[in-house]
Amino acid sequence: MQTSSDSSSSPSPGSDLGRALLAYGEARRVAAAAARRELALNELDARALVFVADNPGARPSHVRDHLGITSAGVTTLIDRLVQRGAVRRDLDEDDRRVNHITATVDLDSPPWNALRAFDDGIEAAIAGLDAERAAAAASLLQHLIATVASAAEH
């Protein structure tokens, strides 16, 4: 007969998956921190730069909303990135009060590609999976996310 202490010492079927998901998150965090150190960027500046690279001509309000910071904070952040030569501000031709922010660095080229290197590596690994395995993994992750979101609502 199994005692309660025996059952707690044997791993649950999902514990390996849970550990793998935590390890993935930690590996991604470590890779992002290393890339930011290499580029001498703080986390917010790096997130803003990636957003602007993915959304050329974004307005400062879009950057602000994406990052969840104040208007004053986004102005200071963009000033830093402009000074750094990573982005430029362009005035809107129709409304001179509006700026558009565009990345001036190529996030697909060194050293800037370090910001996306981990995710690019994951994408390459996913591309190497057979379609059935990739679909099963995607379905499992969607289920886990939906379950957590549902629990958070209650």
Element (H, E) at 26: helix 15-39
pTM: 0.80
Residue 40: C-alpha distances to residues 2, 27, 62, 95 (Å):
55, 20, 24, 34
Which amino acid is present at 20? Answer: A
Tens digits of pLDDT across the chain (154 residues): 444 444 455 667 678 999 999 999 999 999 999 999 999 999 999 999 999 999 999 999 999 999 999 999 999 999 999 999 999 999 988 888 889 999 999 999 999 999 999 999 999 999 999 999 999 999 999 999 999 999 888 8
Q: Which tens digits make up the pLDDT trace of 68-108?
A: 999 999 999 999 999 999 999 999 888 888 899 999 999 99
Residue 35 contacts by C-beta under 8 Å, 6 or more apart in sequence? 46, 114, 115, 117, 118
* CB-based contact 5:81 (threshold 8 Å): no
Nearest alpha-carbon partner for 107 in 32, 50, 146, 153: 50
DSSP code per residue over 72-98? HHHHHHHHHHHHHTSEEEEE-SS-TT-
- Residue ranges of domains in the chain, CATH in brackets: 41-115 (1.10.10.10), 117-154 (no CATH)
